[in-house]
Chains A and B, each alone.
Chain A
Amino acid sequence: MNTFKIDLRETKSINVLDLKGYLDAHTAPELEKAFQKLIDGKKFSIVVNCKDLTYISSAGLGVFMAYIEDVRKNNGDIKLSNMSPKVYNVFDLLGFPLLYDITKDENEAIQRFAAKK
């Protein structure tokens, strides 16, 4: 059974969201809640690890668009890492790599936050 799950952890003061399963119009509200909770808690340095994300539709992409401006206004960022080629292709098709910092692995994303400080 295909499902969607989000785990939150903190590493080196960076908030990492691990996404698992499919992100579509049904599951996108769960990611919205996770981002909103981080923003409410004034946590603006966010890495989304997509290692186990198997699918994304425009509803999922829309969630990233909905929060990136708020996060950047607060000197933070949403960086994405560990995407499968299938998921990356959807981001790429719409030109999202122009706006989002997408790294091969999570450590690279975390180091980029450290380099900015």
Chain B
Amino acid sequence: MKIKSQTEKLHLVREFISEAARKYGFDEEAVGKIALAVDEACTNVIKHAYNYAPDREIQVNILKSGPNLEVVITHNGKSFDPEAIKPPNMPDYLRHFRHGGLGMHLMRSLMDKVEYKSASGKKNEVHLLIQLPAGSSRS
């Protein structure tokens, strides 16, 4: 699916991803996790890659990749270095009442693998992978 870079479109992405994940045999708990991870990825694109410009595009594709379900979020905004974002120390984060920056941490916690691919000056991709449930027959 393709959406404009607007937060009001996030629920459409969640619905699209949830429906697809169910078809691949994920239970409701896993469906919720996948939808949340994809929401976080798209929110990061809207906020940081497009700096809230509302007229840019985000492409969301789902495919079977070996034993995994792979969700690919493509945009042509600013790329960034995921290595620069270290996982927060949550007890410290909470003790000091910090806020923000939890999206990446959630994505990494919810999915088996999160990868960033960037073709300079062209397009950027966020790849979210999670192992398919046993017996998933969809190809």
Contact = CB atoms under 8 A, between A and B. Distances in A.
Bound pair: A and B? yes
Interface of A: 2, 22, 24-26, 55, 57-59, 61-62, 65-66, 68-69, 86, 89-90, 93-96, 98-99
A20 to B, nearest CB: 14
Size bin of chain B's contact surface = 20 to 34
B14 A55 contact: yes
Interface string B90-104: 110011011110110
A65 B11 CA distance: 23
B131 interface: no
Contacts of A66: 99
A58 B103 contact: yes
Where chain A touches its partner, the secondary structure class is helix
B43 A25 contact: yes
Interchain residue pairs A-B with the least CB separation, the first 9? A65-B99, A26-B7, A58-B102, A69-B97, A95-B90, A99-B94, A25-B7, A25-B43, A58-B103
A66 B36 CA distance: 21
Given A94-B90, A95-B90, A62 B99 contact: yes
Given A55-B14, A57-B36, A62 B102 contact: yes
Contact of A62 (B15, B46, B100): B100
A26 B10 contact: yes
B125 interface: no
Contacts of A86: 29, 32
Interface centre among B11, B39, B40 (most CB of A within 10 A): B11
Contact of B106 (A24, A26, A58, A98): A58
A65 B110 CA distance: 21
Nearest to A64: B99
